Every structure is written in C-alpha cells, then in structure tokens.
Amino acid sequence: MIFINALWWQVLLGFLVLHYCEGITLAVIFMLAHDVEEAHFPLPDEGGNIQNSRAVHQLYTTSDFGRQNNLLSFFCGG
C-alpha cells in the first residue's frame, strides 16, 4: 500500500484473490500427485508402524508428473 496508489480494500481484495487461486492450484497438484495408480501405499504392521522413515514414505506415496514441462515444474516447486 505504500508503494502503489491503491485503496486498502483493493489491496486486500487482490491478496485474497491471489491466495484463493494459489490454493486451488496447490490442491489440484496435491490431488494429482497422490491419487493415481502408480502411488504405492504401504500398510502398517501389527503395532501400527510403517517400516520406512517419513522421507522414504513420502517418496513411495507420491508420483511425479510433468517432468519435462519447465513451467509446471516451477509451479510445483521443482
């Protein structure tokens, strides 16, 4: 608001609209990364523990898509 000539409600409206759009984008990306057949979800043992660490579990339960698309890779965080 200091550097641009806009009213406070215009800045607030822009802030809310941009956060809404980014939230929808992230939600779609996360749904696509986890809800495909290639993702493997290991079952816990009798004690409720999973054999792998959290980082290995994260890699097993997600799938990579759009590897050759630089724009999609930028929006997805690499």
Which long-range contacts does 36-43 make (Cβ < 8 Å, 24+ apart)? 36/63, 36/65, 38/63, 39/63
Q: Above 80 in pLDDT, residue 45? A: yes
Question: Could you tell me the pTM of the whole model?
Answer: 0.56
Query: How large is the average pLDDT for residues 29-55?
Result: 82
Predicted confidence at residue 33, as pLDDT, reads: 73
Q: Above 90 in pLDDT, residue 13? A: yes
Tokens, residue 45: 């043992």
What single-letter DSSP state applies at residue 42?
P
Give the CA distances from residue 34 to residues 2, 39, 44, 67, in Å, rounded to whole numbers and listed in that order. 42, 6, 18, 16
* Rounded Cα–Cα distance for residues 16 and 27 (Å): 16
